């Protein structure tokens, strides 16, 4: 009875580890998988009995050999099946948000159904549908928000949503954590604001003012290119305080408010870097 229990435990352990490795490998296309599997590989030798560390010293018995075979075999079968299953789940996006749900999210954000469908198509195919529904390729010289740059009204609207505090229920910590999952430019933005974790009010006011400016620039009647030219002229590389003071006197209320919040709440040592990051988020091409 004890031998049977031991053998069943070995099979269960082999299947469990096989499923773990297989599902990780099957579901992910990230290079992180190589790191995870590399770490686990060091444990596999001992687990599968290659080092004999799980068995008593001396000559290996028939029961031990049988247990090792069952453990190794169950691991291999479970791992192979889990990889296939993981690939199928990823290919068919079983665990992802459905297209309908994505469209509904855009509609809830205030966009029309046609606009919502267009943004979802672009997000999945990097193609933009025209008025007749035909798909048009995006200019190769433009870059999407996924790579950290804004290039069109559509992308500005995308940033207006993705950088909104409302997306994270107004929680500054959750918002900054969410920013850390985005592109390097947004991560740098979050890192600067993280210097003020003891001042959540300051973080919230700065993030809200930056987001308000982005949402304003996404409006159809705002000339985005002219704004970036004027924005560049206001910046004095060696003097962030003067640059922000110039912006505070701007006729664009959103820019004025953003500059005022940064001047009011941030250290002078952070202002130059923060301003450069904001310029990159909004105006880099």
Residue 149: the pLDDT is 36
Residue 144: the pLDDT is 38
Residue 191: the pLDDT is 93
Highest mean pLDDT among 30-39, 86-95, 138-147, 167-176: 167-176
pLDDT tens profile 4-15: 666 676 666 667
pLDDT bin (cut points 50, 70, 90) of residue 137 is low
More confident residue, 24 or 244: 244
118 domain-assigned? yes
18 domain-assigned? yes
**207 and 104, same domain (yes or no):** no
Size (the chain), residues: 285
- Statement: residue 142 has pLDDT above 50: no
**71 and 15, same domain (yes or no):** yes
pLDDT tens profile 42-59: 566 555 554 444 445 555
Number of domains in the chain: 3
More confident residue, 144 or 95: 95
pLDDT bin (cut points 50, 70, 90) of residue 150 is very low
**214 and 154, same domain (yes or no):** yes
Residue 285: the pLDDT is 43
Residue where one domain finishes, among candidates 56, 91, 126: 91
Range of the domain at 126: 97-138
Provide the whole-model pTM.
Answer: 0.48
pLDDT-wise least confident of 26-40, 106-120, 128-142, 252-266: 128-142
**74 and 154, same domain (yes or no):** no
165 domain-assigned? yes
Of 195, 196, 161, which Cα lies nearest the Cα of 178?
A: 161
Q: What is the mean pLDDT of residues 115-134?
A: 65
119 domain-assigned? yes
Residue 192: the pLDDT is 93
More confident residue, 148 or 135: 135
Residue 93: the pLDDT is 67
Residue where one domain finishes, among candidates 76, 91, 106: 91
pLDDT tens profile 60-107: 566 666 666 677 767 667 777 777 777 777 666 666 677 888 888 778
**167 and 229, same domain (yes or no):** yes
- Statement: residue 223 has pLDDT above 80: yes
Residue where one domain finishes, among candidates 91, 123, 157: 91
Residue 266: the pLDDT is 92
**162 and 254, same domain (yes or no):** yes
Mean pLDDT across the chain, nearest whole number? 74
Residue 222: the pLDDT is 83
Residue 232: the pLDDT is 84
More confident residue, 42 or 147: 42
pLDDT tens profile 235-268: 887 888 899 998 998 889 999 999 999 999 999 8
């Amino acid at each position: 009875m004890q031998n049977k229990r031991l053998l069943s435990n070995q099979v269960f352990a082999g299947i469990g580890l096989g499923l773990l490795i297989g599902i990780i490998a099957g579901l992910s296309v990230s290079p992180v998988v190589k790191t995870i599997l590399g770490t686990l590989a060091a444990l596999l030798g001992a687990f599968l009995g290659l080092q004999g560390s799980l068995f008593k010293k001396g000559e290996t018995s028939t029961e031990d050999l049988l247990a090792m075979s069952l453990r190794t075999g169950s691991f291999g079968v479970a791992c192979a099946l889990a990889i296939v299953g993981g690939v199928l789940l990823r290919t068919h996006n079983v665990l992802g948000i459905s297209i309908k749900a994505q469209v509904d999210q855009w509609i809830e954000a205030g966009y029309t159904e046609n606009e919502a469908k267009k943004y979802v198509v672009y997000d999945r195919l990097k193609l933009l549908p025209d008025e007749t529904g035909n798909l048009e390729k995006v200019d190769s010289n433009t870059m999407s928000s996924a790579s950290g740059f804004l290039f069109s009204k559509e992308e500005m609207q995308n940033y207006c949503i993705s950088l909104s505090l409302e997306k994270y229920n107004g929680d500054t910590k959750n918002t900054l954590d969410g920013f850390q999952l985005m592109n390097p430019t947004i991560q740098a933005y979050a890192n600067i604001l993280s210097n003020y974790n003891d001042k959540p009010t300051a973080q919230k006011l700065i993030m809200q003012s930056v987001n308000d400016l982005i949402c304003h620039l996404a409006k159809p009647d705002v000339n985005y290119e002219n704004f970036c030219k004027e924005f560049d002229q206001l910046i004095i590389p060696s003097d962030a305080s003067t640059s922000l003071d110039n912006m505070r006197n701007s006729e664009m209320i959103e820019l004025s408010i953003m500059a005022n919040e940064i001047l009011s709440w941030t250290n002078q040592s952070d202002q130059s870097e923060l301003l450069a990051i904001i310029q990159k988020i909004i105006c880099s091409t």
